[in-house]
Structure 1
């Protein structure tokens, strides 16, 4: 089996609070809930972990956020842990405002490239989303 350019990508991260994460990613950015698993089993007993998968319909990627109340993992993002979305156009201020209203925080990037070509917003767990004004082709310089 060979790796395909159409292989689905899942980015998985721990989250302190899946409700806060959902507000940011779904209500703020506009992603859809792809799948959700709560922390209880069929008998209503506490399960192993809860997770929330968000993405766009028909996209070849999704973001998975996981929380285990019995053994929580503290998110440890750095300033360089980025999820970059190439918009191929201006970043709407209404979108940035909506992200902030739903738990995000606009922050400067330590990398001047992202300050010039986009807007960086931290999610409730401290991970950074960059909304880039550039488009994407097979070359990151386009």
Structure 2
């Protein structure tokens, strides 16, 4: 059995970030917690999927450190229509389209950034 992957990101605006990722990546809310040892959080993903994203917020402690431009989540979508639709959903959800730090990602992908500075690449290819 393969392990499941959780990618956790802190945010200063939990509600906004959760809405953006839910809409932009078509993810479901898998769970949430409130005031768990001082933190609030939401897990997004696809039920039964091998990964999920966790977004956390610690009230009274704003996030001020921006991640590196190389801190990426990369989603591979080989179907051209699905890739184009996903990129449009990311824009409509409020993600900014940004030039990638590494030019490799521009050759067959689109890079998006959320308000906290985390980046998502929607790559138009099969998983290598």
> Do Structure 1 and Structure 2 share a fold, with TM-score over 0.5?
yes
TM-score by length of 2: 0.88
Which runs of 5 or more residues in structure 1 are unaligned?
42-46, 137-141
Q: Secondary structure at the match of 1:38?
A: strand
C-alpha separation between the residues in 2 aligned to 1:54 and 1:95? 17
Greater percentage in helix: 2
C-alpha separation between the residues in 2 aligned to 1:31 and 1:121? 16
Tell me the residue number matched to 1:67.
57
Tell me the residue number matched to 1:135.
126
C-alpha separation between the residues in 1 aligned to 2:99 and 2:63? 26
The within-5 A match list for 1:40-51 is: 48-51=38-41
TM-score by length of 1: 0.80
Per-residue deviation, 1:97: 2.7
Tell me the residue number matched to 1:139.
none
Q: What is the aligned counterpart of 2:89 among 98, 121, 139?
A: 98
Q: CA RMSD in A?
A: 1.8
C-alpha separation between the residues in 1 aligned to 2:9 and 2:46? 18
Moved more, 67-76 or 6-15: 67-76
Q: What is the aligned counterpart of 1:88 among 59, 78, 85?
A: 78
Greater percentage in strand: 2
Asked if 1:32 is matched to 2:23, the reply is no
Q: Secondary structure at the match of 1:27?
A: helix
